[in-house]
Amino acid sequence: MPPGCLTVLAPIRLGEDTALRGTLRAIGDDIKGRRLDADRGRPHVDFARSQRIHFARFAIMDDPDRGPGRTRLLYATVYDGALADHLTELADITSDLDAIWGACEGFAGAATFHTFISEHALEPEAYYIAFRDETVASIRHAISVRQHATSLAPPPAARSLPDAIAGAVQRLVRAVPVVVDVARAVGRFGLGNVYAGASGITASLNRYPIVRLVNSITRNRMAPRQSLFSSVPIDNCATPVPVAPGDEFPSTLTSPPAAFREDVIAQNQLTLVTVVAPGRVDRLRAVMAAIDAYARRLSPPGSLTGISTIHFVRWLVIDNGRRLLFVSDYDNSWENYIDEFAEMILSGLDAIWDTAPGFPPDGARDLPAFKRFLRCHQVPAEVFFSAYPGETVLNIAADTARARQQ
């Protein structure tokens, strides 16, 4: 059973966001649970005790639909097993549920925790998992095997022919339902939106022979650049403001910056909220359906179209189609992550975010403007947890291969 993802958006009671932010920030500052005696009485989530959670975060973002000054709480996690078991464990490792969730409208105490979370949980439009067959326990075991191996231990041997054949059959079985995925997407969003979305994604993917052939036949290519110069403002010290009608920033908080809790460990987190232009949501959902089908059916372990730094990523269309939420857990720095995205899936970035007001005229090809666009729509995480904070996707791929041979 692949790891599940839970994404909760819950409205915060008016005036309680400041206290809640302080509570969460204290939890985020002590994510490993090494509290001093003076801090023992403070609310805490002992993520280090979890046997199921891969990654988790809390963030507070603006809630413009409820009016100025209103906010909402984001809880996003990736977990093993059933959702009910995950929520039971989360409640068990949280010292005071009311200190966190009690700040949210409609929360009526620990006895209603499961129901409250289920009522505010959202399903992703697209969801990528680097290692669909690995659990927290199996990854930690693989890391332990590597750590206890001698320095002269041989690298994992090549797979035997029977194993290779079995793997190929497994990939084929996994890929077959993509035909059903395409038919379902056409039924939901229309053939025009599905064709336009798929064409937008693949326009820069000519490194794949089959895609290059299809692009050649359909004359699918990226539009010429509108300008040789970047559209990013020259004054990068000025306070960012929306540059297009209908655009909005998801967090008006100026301290900490959007980069809060980045580059603390080998992994990073990124949370974005962008507006979906009126009338474009079906096109966006068609793009999401294509990404989801590829991620679930065709992507090899540890690689999303050649990007081997993403552990988990999901996209959600929220607020009745008015906004897009992006939640990612990845390796290395923010700058490297965006650079790799722009290099490997340039047209895919445009297909996802060109429905957003304020998206650069030349899209991700105008890399400085694209990065500024992302930073302006980023939400800082008050809490970020990883079950294996020192491990990259490539490390895990090597470790699990080695562990299977023990």
Q: At a CB cut-off of 8 Å and minimum separation 6, what does 51 contact?
A: 80, 89, 136, 137
Same domain (yes/no): 225, 349: yes
Q: Where does the pLDDT of residue 367 fall: very low under 50, low under 70, confident under 90, or very high at 90 and above?
A: very high
For the segment 325-338, the average pLDDT, to the nearest whole number, is 95
Shared domain check, 309 and 191:
yes
According to the model, what pLDDT value does residue 257 have? Answer: 80
Mean pLDDT of 265-294: 94
In a domain, 293, yes or no: yes
Q: Are residues 114 and 179 in the same domain?
A: no
The 8 Å CB, 24+ separation contacts for 102-107 are 103/12, 103/13, 103/16, 103/17, 103/19, 103/20, 103/73, 104/10, 104/11, 104/12, 104/13, 104/73, 105/10, 105/11, 105/12, 105/13, 106/10, 106/11, 107/10
End-to-end CA distance of the chain: 23
Are both 191 and 254 inside the same structural domain?
A: yes
348 located within any domain: yes
* 364 and 240 within one domain: yes
> Does residue 62 belong to any structural domain of this protein?
yes
| Encoded tokens for 210 | 């089959």
Do 5 and 312 form a contact (C-beta atoms < 8 A)? yes
**Is the domain of 298 the same as that of 368?**
yes
Contact between residue 350 and residue 342 where contact means Cβ atoms under 8 Å apart: no
Indicate the residue among 91, 106, 122 that finishes a domain. Answer: 122
107 and 190 housed in the same domain = no
Sign of the alpha-carbon dihedral angle for 136, 23, 249, 230: negative
The answer to whether 61 and 273 are in contact (CB under 8 A) is yes
The angle formed by the CA atoms of residues 160, 163 and 169, to the nearest 5 degrees, is 140
Q: Name the token pair of 192.
A: 């025009």
User: Which has the higher per-residue pLDDT, 232 or 329?
Assistant: 329
Q: Is the pLDDT of residue 152 over 50?
A: no
- Residue with the larger pLDDT of the pair 133 and 40: 133
Residue 241 counted as domain residue:
yes
Amino acid 253 reads: L
User: Rounded mean pLDDT of 84-113?
Assistant: 95
pLDDT at site 168 = 64
Q: pTM of the full predicted structure?
A: 0.92
373, 294, 367, 369: which is closest to 336 by C-alpha?
367
Q: Kindly give the interhelix angle for 334-344 and 346-353, rounded to the nearest 10 degrees.
A: 100
Average pLDDT value for the chain: 89
Structural domain count, the chain:
2
Region 140-152: mean pLDDT is: 79
Say what the pLDDT of residue 256 is: 76
Q: How confident is the model at residue 132 (pLDDT cuts 50, 70, 90)?
A: very high
Least confident of 159-163, 172-176, 191-195, 246-250: 159-163
What pLDDT score was predicted for residue 229?
83
Whether 354 and 207 share a structural domain? yes
For 272, the 3-state DSSP assignment is: strand
168 membership: H or E segment, kind and range: helix 161-175
Task: Specify the pLDDT at position 163.
Answer: 63
Cα separation, 341 vs 298, whole angstroms: 18
Return the higher-pLDDT residue of 25 and 172.
25
Within-domain flag for 144 = no
pLDDT digits (tens, 9 = 90+) for 380-395: 999 999 999 999 999 9
Q: What is the mean pLDDT of residues 100-114?
A: 95
Mean pLDDT to the nearest integer, 11-34: 91
Residues in the chain: 406
Q: What confidence score (pLDDT) does residue 210 get?
A: 87
Query: Which pLDDT belongs to residue 153?
Result: 57
207 in the same domain as 107: no
Mean pLDDT, rounded, for 208-222: 90
Q: Is there a domain that residue 404 lies in? A: no
Greater model confidence, 297 or 76:
76
User: Strand, coil or helix: what is 6?
Assistant: strand
Residue 363 has pLDDT above 50, yes or no: yes
Cα–Cα dist 274/38, whole Å: 40
Q: Give exposure, 163-172, as e/b (b: 16+ Cβ within 10 Å).
A: eeeeeeeeee
- pLDDT exceeds 60 at position 215: yes
Q: What is d(CA 137, CA 142) in angstroms, rounded to the nearest whole number? A: 9
pLDDT at res. 133: 93
260 in the same domain as 338: yes
Is residue 131 included in any domain, yes or no?
no
Instruction: Determine if the peptide bond prior to 242 is cis (ω within 30°).
Output: no
**Above pLDDT 90, what percent of the chain?**
67
pLDDT tens track for 58-94: 999 999 999 988 999 999 999 999 999 999 999 999 9
Based on the domain organization, do 26 and 90 belong to the same domain?
yes
Q: Which domain holds residue 233?
A: 175-381
Higher pLDDT, residue 74 or 38: 74
The answer to whether position 393 is within a domain reads no
Task: Give helix 281-293 / helix 178-189 axis angle, nearest 10°.
Answer: 180
Are 237 and 335 within one domain?
Answer: yes
pLDDT band at 35 (very low <50, low <70, confident <90, very high): low
